Amino acid sequence: MKTTQDYVKPTKRERRIAEISYSVLQESLNKLNFEQETVEIELEESQELITLPMNAIKLLANILKAMSEGIPVSIVPIATEVTTQKAAEMLGCSRPYLVKLLEEDYIPYTKVGRHRRIMLKDVVEYKNKMKMEQKQHIIDIMNDDEEDDLYDS
């Protein structure tokens, strides 16, 4: 699995192509019935028809949107297990601190012999939870500062 340091940003040309493709795909999606489970697309070069799950088309739209914004994209199956080192890198903390989080049941894990394995989805959930808590703390601090008239009008 790649870490964020391994991601390659889309080039300017790729960003332009993704932006155009995203807008066309989004227009097409808006015309479709979202009750459909599949969508048929045609490859212009070979005139081949391909049937894709609607969720795959939605995922493609999200990928194109991110690329058009210059955001690197990586697709990893959500059931992927990661090592404690990879999980620590993803969370931006040390491996010993991550092990402490695991042993205090903040993040679920399994042991394979002496090694701990963590589901990628659990690491992502914990990271998102921490971001939301940090955001709420900042809002609380700002509200307290406003109540104390620390902001100029």
pLDDT digits (tens, 9 = 90+) for 123-142: 999 999 999 999 999 999 98
- Comparison of pLDDT for 78 and 90, the residue scoring more: 90
For residue 108, give the H/E element and its range: none
| pLDDT (tens digit per residue) in 17-49 | 999 999 999 998 888 776 788 888 888 899 999
3, 78, 96, 106 from 75: Cα distances, Å: 12, 9, 27, 25
| pLDDT (tens digit per residue) in 96-124 | 999 999 999 999 999 988 999 999 999 99
Percent of the chain clearing pLDDT 90 (strictly above): 59
Q: Could you give the residue range(s) of every CATH 1.10.1660 domain in the chain?
A: 81-147
For domain 81-147, say whether CATH 1.10.3210 is its number. Answer: no
The residues pairing with 110 across neighbouring beta strands, listed in sequence order, are 117
Task: List, in sequence order, every beta strand (DSSP E) within 22-90.
Answer: 38-43, 48-53, 81-82
